[in-house]
Amino acid sequence: MFEIFTRMADWLAYELPGLSPTSKAGTALHFFIEDSSKIFVLLLVMIYLIALVRASLNVERVRNYLAGRHRGFGYLMGSGFGAITPFCSCSSIPVFLGFTSAGIPVGITMSFLLTSPLINEVAVLLLLSLLGWKFTLLYVLIGMTIGMIGGLVLDALKAERWLQDFAARALEQGQARATDSDNSADNHQPVMNLQQRHQFARDETLEIFGRVWKWVIIGVGLGAALHGFVPDNWIEQHLGGGQWWSVPAAVLLGIPLYSNATGVIPVMESLINHGLPAGTTLAFCMSTVAASFPEFILLKRVMRLRLLALVFFMLLIAFTLVGWVFNLLTPFI
């Protein structure tokens, strides 16, 4: 199904400019054309189709659903909704407060917020087309697990102690209300007809595409540069053995770098093709996507430094563990 993009890239990168398929410039250009054209077409078609289906799902619904749920189930649902609910990272503070003031425990809210940047429809599509279904499935399972365990740990440590005062008060009031009455069902959500769904899906496609196309170009560009200009065996020789220290090093390198999932997946593809072990790659990429300094600075307005530091170290440890376990398991996958 994706062969057409390979053939187009053959033609545009090798035949037209007369570059050799064994030359560095030729392979870099080929990688760039093949991946960027494939990703753009996939994004346009699939975002539209997915948006059509989930048009009526939004953060308000999720909040109403999660409010007053049983805890154990809550982490799973929080993380699951985090993966499928559309929401822009610039809304993470209002979403955090909206959930909190509905009395939802901090851990469940954080399951939602931690999973959300790691897993979304664009990331899953890219993984499927570039790295195959097995890798995608593992990525999704790991992403959700990190979200759930992160939430559980935060609640076990009673993280609500370290909220900013107004947020802590909102949580208390919310929980008092939640026990008073059964949670208010989403009664003001109108049913959508096909026309409205189409409109939503069209706007969503344009909006997401407008936001991510630059990331695709940057990510594929970096991937192509790696492909074409890093000596063939360099990565494999130096890091190919899955040396234990390479995983925490990759995470530490990844955290200050910020990218969203769309930009980083083409880089992952290129790193893996060059012999970087899958676990190390995954650890690096998840840390660039999930933890970013701008996001932490925003969260500072609702969380005290202690809680922020806790979340930060928790992610650091989680991604390192993921990398190690994945590297150990790779021979069996």
Partner 1 sequence: MKQIKVLGTGCSKCSKAADIIEKIAAELRQPVTVTKETSPEVIMQYQVMRTPAVVIDDQLVHSGSIPLRADIESWLK
The one-letter code for the residue type at 128 is L
Nearer to partner 1, 111 or 246 (CB): 111
Given 56, 58, 145, 273, the residue binding partner 1 (CB under 8 A): 58
Stretches 16-24, 82-90, 154-162, 310-318: which one binds partner 1 (CB under 8 A)? 82-90
Stretches 41-49, 95-103, 145-153, 280-288: which one binds partner 1 (CB under 8 A)? 95-103
To 10 degrees, what angle do helices 121-131 and 133-156 make?
A: 140
Interface pattern 165-184 for partner 1 (x via CB under 8 A): -xx--x--------------
Q: Is 60 in the site for partner 1 (CB under 8 A)?
A: yes
Question: 């979340």: which residue's tokens?
Answer: 311
Given 78, 98, 103, 228, the residue binding partner 1 (CB under 8 A): 98
Q: Is 95 in the site for partner 1 (CB under 8 A)?
A: yes
Question: 């195959």: which residue's tokens?
Answer: 132
Q: Is 97 in the site for partner 1 (CB under 8 A)?
A: yes
Q: Is 202 in the site for partner 1 (CB under 8 A)?
A: no
Using CB under 8 A, count the residues that bind partner 1: 22
CB 296, CB 211: distance < 8 Å: no
Residues 6+ apart with CB under 8 A from 291: 254, 255, 312, 315, 316
Q: Is 241 in the site for partner 1 (CB under 8 A)?
A: no
Q: Count of CB atoms within 10 A of residue 314's CB?
A: 19
Q: Is 302 in the site for partner 1 (CB under 8 A)?
A: yes
Neighbouring C-alpha atoms within 13 Å toward the C-beta of 248: 5
Tell me the β-bridge partners of 163.
303
CB 261, CB 231: distance < 8 Å: no
Stretches 58-66, 103-111, 118-126, 187-195: which one binds partner 1 (CB under 8 A)? 58-66
d(CA 163, CA 28): 48
Given 35, 42, 43, 63, the residue binding partner 1 (CB under 8 A): 63
* Distance from the first to the final alpha carbon of the chain: 25
Nearer to partner 1, 104 or 291 (CB): 104
Tell me the β-bridge partners of 303.
163
The residue ranges that bind partner 1 (CB under 8 A) are: 58-60, 63, 87-88, 90-91, 93-95, 97-98, 101, 166-167, 170, 203, 207, 298, 301-302
